[in-house]
Structure 1
Amino acid sequence: MSPAPPGASAPPPAPAQAPAGVQRTPVPADAPPPSGPRATAGTSGTALATTTQGGTTTGTATAQLAAAEPGTLPTPAGPGGQPPADEPGEGGGGGGDGEGPSGFPARVWRGRPEDPQWVRPAFLGLLLVTAVLYFWDLNNSGWANSFYSAAVQAGSKSWKAFLFGSLDSGNSITVDKPAGALWPMALSVRLFGLNSWAILAPEALMGVATVAVLYAAVRRRFNAAAGLIAGGVLAVTPVAALMFRFNNPDAMLALFMVVAIYCVLRALENANTKWLLLAGAAFGLAFLAKTLQAWLILPPLAIVYGVLAPTTLRKRLGQIGLAGLAILVSAGWWVAIVELWPASSRPYIGGSQDNSFLGLTFGYNGFGRITGNETGSVGGGGGGAGGSRWGATGITRLFAADMGGQIAWLLPAAFILLVAGLWLTWRAKRTDTQRGAFLAWGGALLMTFLTFSFMSGIFHQYYNIALAPYIGALVGMGATMLWERRSQIAASAVLAVTVVVTAIWSYVLLNRSTDWYPGVRYAVLIGGVVAAVGLLLVAKLGRQLALAAAGLGIAASVGGPLAYTLQTVNTGHSGSIVTAGPAVQGGRGGFGGGGGGRGGFPGGAAGGTRAGGFPGGAQGGQNGQPPQQGQGQQGFPGGAGARGGMGGGGGMGGMGGLLDGATVSTAMKTLLETDASKYTWVAATIGSQNSSSYQLATNDPVMAIGGFNGTDPSPTLAQFKKYVADGKIHYFIGSGSGGGRGGAMGGGSSGTGTSITSWVESSFTKKTVGSDTVYDLTVPKS
């Protein structure tokens, strides 16, 4: 007997009462309504679709029961209440309702009364493993991205800096993003003090929370096995493991994206306005993490709700409008404060050229990322046809050497299973929520994938974390839906093809790291081929062999990304551009510090170490370690300087913040800390990555002239002169370990850094402290 087709209902059984030995329990308040091929008995008078195992018709316990009265679900009784355990995630409860001597702990451990006993422990185990992965040796990245760590430090000392996201507690300039992603870290530092763990622990917690919400979203419409697969795929995606252990805004963005989709799927069940408003609030909070990227998936989700929600078209459109209002309120309050606050009494909006957050949102951080026309960007605008200064564009971009190992392991599988899921649910009724789930997650994946593939502006490898939850959801939903139909040759064939394609692709990705554990690639390939053969024959296999084939297929599919993830969590990552996994051949390099990028300037030659090297420059440190003093960190073309700066005059300001920050000597730290309380800023220097290193070393504010890229017109020369005249800045740090003098990359000789540096050199006497050139701004030349 074949399973019921999508959207179809089995005829109601004749008896009106449950068979002997079966008791009725109320439907949990949050139980989803009946829908699709796994519709539950009770509210609609239909039975659960049966499933087949090894060619023999089986069914869940509830599928064999009489239809219950509205508002109840039939629950099998008997010893342990355990139904047939052939299908992961199916069957009735066991072990009671969780009440008893243990009370709440028992309910937490047991979970839903109708679940098999293994479900809740498996879910808690997933969260525990994820937490271990993300918290393991969390301090090994030091300050991680010191640009954001400095802002976190500032926010922990000044509530004004906390509100605006200032780079320093003197509030000279903000980061080039909203402040939302900094708030959890700044609160953590206020509680636990300034240290690496306090900064990164909130990011790791967000990673665990994202896995939990993804599990809940997928499990609700499908089964526990689907949720576990989805959460597991997300947890071991290399770029996710990287960013949930790092302090860029992408961790918070990923969390709220998953929360938003969860809320939309809940709203789809019964056209619930409350859940759609919560989805809007989640999108607004995501905007406060990373501006317009948070709204990238809004169009497909709005279309899915507008078409599928079980209510009138007029009400659907009205609900979408209310959700839009929720987005504006949850994001707009902060934007309104920033825009309406007098510019003279707030920090300059970093990354903008007009001191406007709206200008930053729609320009440098908005449409400029799509077109490549980003004023103030390092390197300027986009590239030629078919590419940009940030790598070649096109449909294969995310499969290329520098991107594939970050995110693409299960990307082909997600596309295959998306098509399979839509095919299986195509004939379901309009409001079918399983099809709605495939359209929601699939729409989010396709919208993000196409945007990332063809955008010409700044694009870094770690952006791909946005795709990880969508891939996990589609793999979990599609794989379990096909598994339930495995007696049908078409379903088992698609499962087999998905596994073998994933194994072959994993072999290709692993083969790009020729000097890194070659045995892994062969194990993945052989295991995937064997599992695919077993899945093709699954209808003829016994239960144990069928489960073994499925388990081997899962292991082969996640073996590659798991290996990369384990390497990632054991490697320190620092700097502004970081990548997961080992070094690969032919990849576009990044600028990150130890454990960061693996190559040179965009479009340039690849470096041979984890830290990489700019074309013609000295290589940085290896295996996640910073270079030795005096060694050029990813040295610049034509010259080298300590820790990324070019020695002598006319350098580039430490690449305007793209490299790891300065190495602060003990003598320099002592100098800056002397009489620090007398000044608003203990020092000023070109570029945020330089300033952040001195600020984190001393825990005192340091002004970043020109902001992140060194190209922002802040402060002007006149403003800087006034700060000096008012005695607000003690030192100016020129060339040396922190970076070169003058304008930053992209700023040229006309940048604000150049004019300020020239004035300082002509007005004050320089001295050398360690490898730094320093000017005491309180002692002008005679």
Structure 2
Amino acid sequence: MNEPTDKKPNFFQRHKVDWVLAIILLIALGLYGYGTWKTGSANDFYTSAITSMTQSFKNFWYASFDPAGYITVDKPPVALWFMAISAKILGVSNFSVVLPSVLFGVGSVYLMYRLVTPYFGRFAGRIAALVMTITPIVVADSRTNNMDATLIYFLLLAIWMLQKSINKHNMYWLIGSFATIGFAFNIKMLQAFMIIPAMLIFYWLASNDSWKKKIGKLSLATIALVVFTLSWPLSVDMTSANNRPYEGGSQHNSVLELAFGYNGTQRLLGQTTGTGGAFKGMGSSSSKSSNQPGGNTKSNSNNKMTPPSGKMGKFNPSKNMKSRGNFPGGNNRGGMKMNGKGGMGGAGGAFNIGTAGPLRLFQSALGPQISWLLPFSIIGMIAAFIGFADPKRKWYQLTTRQKHTVLWTGWLVPVYGFFSVASFFHPYYTIMLAPAIAALAGLGLAAMLDLFKRFGLNNYKAYFLPLAIVVTAGLQAWYVSSYYAWLSVLILVVAVLASILLLVFKAKPAGKAIVIVGLLSIAVAPSFWSLTPTLAKESAAIPTAGPDLLTSGGNNSGGIGNGTVNTKLLNYLTKHQGNAKYLFATADSGTAAPYIIKTKKAVMAMGGFNGTDPAMTLSKFKQLVKSGQVKYYLDEGKSGSTNSTIVNWIKKHAKKVSASEYGGSTSTTSSSNSMTFTMKKGASAKMAKPSGKQSMNMGGGPSNMSNGTLYDLSSIY
């Protein structure tokens, strides 16, 4: 007879731990976090703001770009709040500014599991979590201090609350869900609203309440959405302009204008403010644009495409660098990786977004970042609607599983539609598609396996799984072909053979092993692509993934602020700053950011990110100069600035500082793993022989190579 025991169950007995999920989460943590302490300053524009936000609550609340609180970044502050708190605790460093994105990225993987498992089973939940983990753009984006990883986490959290409100018949969870969307609006504005249609449709279908109660509860939830959406923007817009920084990215110093203009309709229709016109290179409506999987291709006079050489040609910044730091050619496969807004982005480019149309997301510009498993998810979605149907019900009487499939389809369709037609976005914005692709891949695979087991070869429902494997493998083979021809062939051969053998050995024990082989054939390539940012220790302002990072060395700039600070110029300015409020003034954030990060001193970016925000007037600037708050101006000769009147006044009245007074040349220093440029007065820029890996940190704004002219403004008055 067993004696009674008082031994209590341990943690693992009380909580059922899914060890497969634990391994997936560890993989995600490694992919997103490894080497982030060696990645440079990530997005200098935001790192500068984080540096400034740690210095005062005012800067923290408004997301001020500079310590003096002159102008803000062009996004709301919530994501930066987490990063600033991290930097305040750990100190501003490579690691601290990226840490919140890493944690939110891992948290999103966990939420994917929690959102799928209760309705489609543990297997489907694991697949969804794994697909989310190995989506290349998710890895690349979660390694930066951009806002997207934070946004995705809170959108998934809102979906979790929505599911909970339906399961528990609790109105407060519903209100919390929509309030979280309002909170997410203050991470990246209208991008958060893209999933609201899916939430509304899902709640209407899944809730057991009467239609009157549904309307009542949704009305209260909408009020919560509005309150949490507008609380911060209105608090800013209702504050006197004299008591806060200028709202960067807007033309009239307004957050709401920024939300519905630059960060709203212009993302869809094309940028018309902030640059003096639409950006070149943001996609093309021409059917002649290249969609070769290798990325950058050359066109001869007969419009025939020649394959990329993969070699890095000569580069002359004075000729090739455009006024806003955009490098010609878009994708420079096998060449240099420009890490900055407006520069080249590894496997794609800052604005290399392909040709608008229904198949844009499958083109080479965006596909290798997000679409590796998109065909599998779409076919799986169709299989789910068919396989999870109840034959005893009418077609419109959806089962619980079908309703949850509607939820993820409702996320996928509008986001897919937006990126198919939008004119102004970066490739890494496509991370918005990742949760829907992951969820539909997981639940879709569960549905296809079930249909494959239940139906014979004389029924079309048995063919969803082999079809999904072959179609997905075909797309992946095209993406891989210009990099590794042998892998392209291998993927196709294994996938096709596995699909054929699936049908031949359908009812035999070998069938399970063949399914695994078929699935592995379409998992290898995206897994490798997702590994490249980690191997390259990449953390770029324009994050991308792909083999290019391994040949270019990624953004391994060594340390915050080292990439583009002219140390001799900095020493001169520090020595002669005196009691001036600003170390110096300049046109845009690209020049200012590295100096703010390096010194933690105020540097005035007169026109904000692109140098085109009308934040400063000539009369106000004269007052700042006369009072001694601004003593120096660094002019880099950039066109397109809205402050040309001020610059012309400076050139006419201020004393030009001789370059010999701060070293005789303007050297842009970088880490040992980066290229070094030496700019001498009157000479074109020449590229020095690279040392170590070939990479340049072009982080921050349009251009941050300090090779301009320094003016002493104290000589005016």
Same-fold call, TM > 0.5? Answer: yes
Are 1:680 and 2:615 an aligned pair? no
> Does the 8 Å contact 1:686/1:743 carry over to 2?
no
Q: Offset at 1:539?
A: 3.8
For residue 718 of structure 1, what is the aligned residue in structure 2?
Answer: 619
* Secondary structure, counterpart of 1:732 in structure 2: strand
* Secondary structure, counterpart of 1:727 in structure 2: coil
Are 1:433 and 2:400 an aligned pair? yes
Are 1:161 and 2:59 an aligned pair? yes
Q: What pairs up with 1:626-645 in 2 under 5 angstroms?
A: none
Q: Offset at 1:347?
A: 0.5
> Does the 8 Å contact 1:521/1:560 carry over to 2?
no
Are 1:274 and 2:237 an aligned pair? no
Are 1:304 and 2:202 an aligned pair? yes
* Secondary structure, counterpart of 2:70 in structure 1: coil
For residue 412 of structure 2, what is the aligned residue in structure 1?
Answer: 445
For residue 330 of structure 2, what is the aligned residue in structure 1?
Answer: none
Task: Structure 1: give runs of 5+ residues left out of the alignment.
Answer: 1-98, 112-119, 584-594, 596-608, 611-621, 629-659, 735-739
CA gap 1:185/1:378 in 2 versus in 1, 3 angstroms: farther
Aligned residues: 592
For residue 727 of structure 1, what is the aligned residue in structure 2?
Answer: 628
CA gap 1:725/1:100 in 2 versus in 1, 3 angstroms: farther
Q: Which amino acid aligns with 1:158?
A: S
For residue 103 of structure 1, what is the aligned residue in structure 2?
Answer: 10
> Does the 8 Å contact 2:284/2:356 carry over to 1?
no
Q: What pairs up with 1:67-78 in 2 under 5 angstroms?
A: none
For residue 623 of structure 1, what is the aligned residue in structure 2?
Answer: 553
Q: Distance in 2 between matches of 1:357 and 1:777?
A: 34
For residue 693 of structure 2, what is the aligned residue in structure 1?
Answer: none
For residue 378 of structure 2, what is the aligned residue in structure 1?
Answer: 415
Deviation per residue, 1:737-761 (Å, 9 max, x gap)? xxx22544xx4xxx21x22222222
Q: Distance in 1 between matches of 2:213 and 2:572?
A: 66
Q: Offset at 1:149?
A: 0.9
CA gap 1:228/1:468 in 2 versus in 1, 3 angstroms: same
Q: Offset at 1:225?
A: 0.9
Q: Distance in 2 between matches of 1:379 and 1:532?
A: 51
Aligned residue among 168, 186, 191 for 1:288? 186
Q: Distance in 2 between matches of 1:200 and 1:479?
A: 34
Q: Distance in 1 between matches of 2:517 and 2:96?
A: 39
Q: Offset at 1:378?
A: 6.4
Q: Distance in 2 between matches of 1:704 and 1:244?
A: 28
Task: Structure 2: give runs of 5+ residues left out of the alignment.
Answer: 1-5, 290-350, 667-706
Aligned residue among 327, 334, 338 for 2:236? 338
Q: Distance in 1 between matches of 2:388 and 2:591?
A: 55
For residue 133 of structure 1, what is the aligned residue in structure 2?
Answer: 31
Q: Offset at 1:496?
A: 1.0
* Secondary structure, counterpart of 2:365 in structure 1: helix
Aligned residue among 456, 460, 465 for 2:431? 465
* Secondary structure, counterpart of 2:586 in structure 1: strand
For residue 513 of structure 2, what is the aligned residue in structure 1?
Answer: 548
For residue 648 of structure 2, what is the aligned residue in structure 1?
Answer: 758
> Does the 8 Å contact 1:369/1:455 carry over to 2?
yes
Radius of gyration: which is bigger?
1
Q: What pairs up with 1:353-372 in 2 under 5 angstroms?
A: 353-372=251-270
Deviation per residue, 1:230-288 (Å, 9 max, x gap)? 01101111111110001111111111222222222333335432221221122112111
CA gap 1:281/1:220 in 2 versus in 1, 3 angstroms: same
Deviation per residue, 1:194-231 (Å, 9 max, x gap)? 11111111111110000000110001111111111001
> Does the 8 Å contact 1:261/1:440 carry over to 2?
no
For residue 592 of structure 2, what is the aligned residue in structure 1?
Answer: 691
Are 1:665 and 2:566 an aligned pair? yes
CA gap 1:384/1:130 in 2 versus in 1, 3 angstroms: closer
Q: Offset at 1:491?
A: 4.3
Aligned residue among 454, 469, 488 for 1:521? 488
For residue 69 of structure 1, what is the aligned residue in structure 2?
Answer: none
Q: Distance in 1 between matches of 2:37 and 2:489?
A: 33
Q: Offset at 1:307?
A: 3.2
Q: What pairs up with 1:482-631 in 2 under 5 angstroms?
A: 482-487=448-453, 488-489=455-456, 490-513=460-483, 517-537=484-504, 539-542=506-509, 545-573=510-538, 576-583=541-548, 622-624=552-554
Q: Distance in 2 between matches of 1:141 and 1:776?
A: 34
Q: Offset at 1:464?
A: 0.7
* Secondary structure, counterpart of 2:371 in structure 1: helix
Q: What pairs up with 1:240-279 in 2 under 5 angstroms?
A: 240-269=138-167, 271-279=169-177
> Does the 8 Å contact 1:730/1:778 carry over to 2?
yes
Q: Offset at 1:440?
A: 0.6
For residue 94 of structure 2, what is the aligned residue in structure 1?
Answer: 196
Question: What's the TM-score, normalizing by structure 2?
Answer: 0.78
* Secondary structure, counterpart of 1:360 in structure 2: helix
Q: Relative contact order, CA 8 A, sep 6+: which one is greater? A: 2
Question: What's the TM-score, normalizing by structure 1?
Answer: 0.71
For residue 455 of structure 1, what is the aligned residue in structure 2?
Answer: 422
Q: Distance in 2 between matches of 1:278 and 1:777?
A: 55
Q: Offset at 1:572?
A: 4.7
CA gap 1:580/1:378 in 2 versus in 1, 3 angstroms: farther
> Does the 8 Å contact 1:730/1:777 carry over to 2?
yes
Identity %: 32
Q: Which amino acid aligns with 1:623?
A: G
Q: Which amino acid aligns with 1:316?
A: K
Q: Which amino acid aligns with 2:566?
A: S
CA gap 1:271/1:539 in 2 versus in 1, 3 angstroms: farther
